[in-house]
Amino acid sequence: MSGIINPDRLAAHVSKLAGEIGERNLLKPQALHAAADYITAQWQEQGYRVTPHAYEVRGVDCANLEITRQGGCRPEEILLVGAHYDSVAGSPGANDNGSGVAALLELSRLFARAPTDISVRFVAFVNEEPPFFMWKEMGSLVYARMARKRGDDIRLMVSLETMAYYRSEPGSQRYPPLFRAFYPDRGDFIAFVSNLGSRRLMRRAAAAFRACSDFPLEHVATLGLIPGVAWSDHFSFWRQRYRAFMVTDTAFYRYPYYHTADDTPDKLDYPSLARVTNGLFQSFAALAGHDPSYAL
């Protein structure tokens, strides 16, 4: 199964979100709604029916946005790919998380014409950033609770989080204590990060990625209490007993502009993000049934 993701398309999405719209959160509700409208319009152009799951927080209407590429053989089984579209207060959020949303939009574009055995669902989450992170109003937690309540058979959730900064200089990658002994000191790789309960499926996804992409990949299954390991929307799905992992450039362990006003579109490496996203498309297609060696 082939697919080509153009760096310019990724850059255009990030420029719209972090350049034109800018900081987007409950403190700037017009911008938050503009981001939701942009994502909705992109998905409608791709031929999807967008389902908003709305709720109110502090007098502001918010929504998680959902689309589904229906599976052919086992449509009730779901691979869910998500990214949050809000940014932290004071930051335009190019890498965190315009890069994840850009990848999400381009993956859905390719899957719109890619048959799969199980359903592939894409969700843009609201309110991931503080003060909502890990609290009941966090968008992905609202969504994961809804999914569990209605009995959604989510076989695996993948969170796309801060994905577009890469460096080749020695010492450009940092880690929590002890990890540096086992992983490279150059920040030129993408990482798959899971808890122990999700490690089997995360490793299967890593094997599928490596089978179709030569982009450097590192992966780890470890305790969620280690700083950064649980710091995205996959955490919400762990809490609802779903298997999930995060795809990331490791955020603050590498990216010097994390959660700052300097997280702007010009800082990102779009050719590398395109290579990563192409690899994710191929590996997600395999997980969704294109290749029985990796199917969920």
Q: What does the pLDDT read at residue 3? A: 64
- Among the listed ranges 66-75, 81-90, 138-147, 284-293, which one has the minimum average pLDDT value? 284-293
On the 0-12 / 13-18 / 19+ scale of CB atoms within 10 A, 186 is middle
Summarize pLDDT for 73-90 with one digit per residue, the tens: 999 999 999 999 999 999
On the 0-12 / 13-18 / 19+ scale of CB atoms within 10 A, 197 is middle
Q: What percent of the chain has pLDDT over 90?
A: 89
Summarize pLDDT for 39-60 with one digit per residue, the tens: 999 999 999 999 999 999 989 9
Q: Is the per-residue pLDDT at 1 higher than 60?
A: no
Mean of all residue pLDDT scores within the chain? 95
Task: For each of the domains in the chain, give its residue range(s) and CATH number, in order of start.
Answer: 7-289 (3.40.630.10)
Compute the distance between CA of residue 15 and CA of residue 11 in angstroms, rounded to an integer: 6
Average pLDDT over residues 223-227: 88
CA dihedral 43, 48, 53, 58 (to 10 degrees): 20
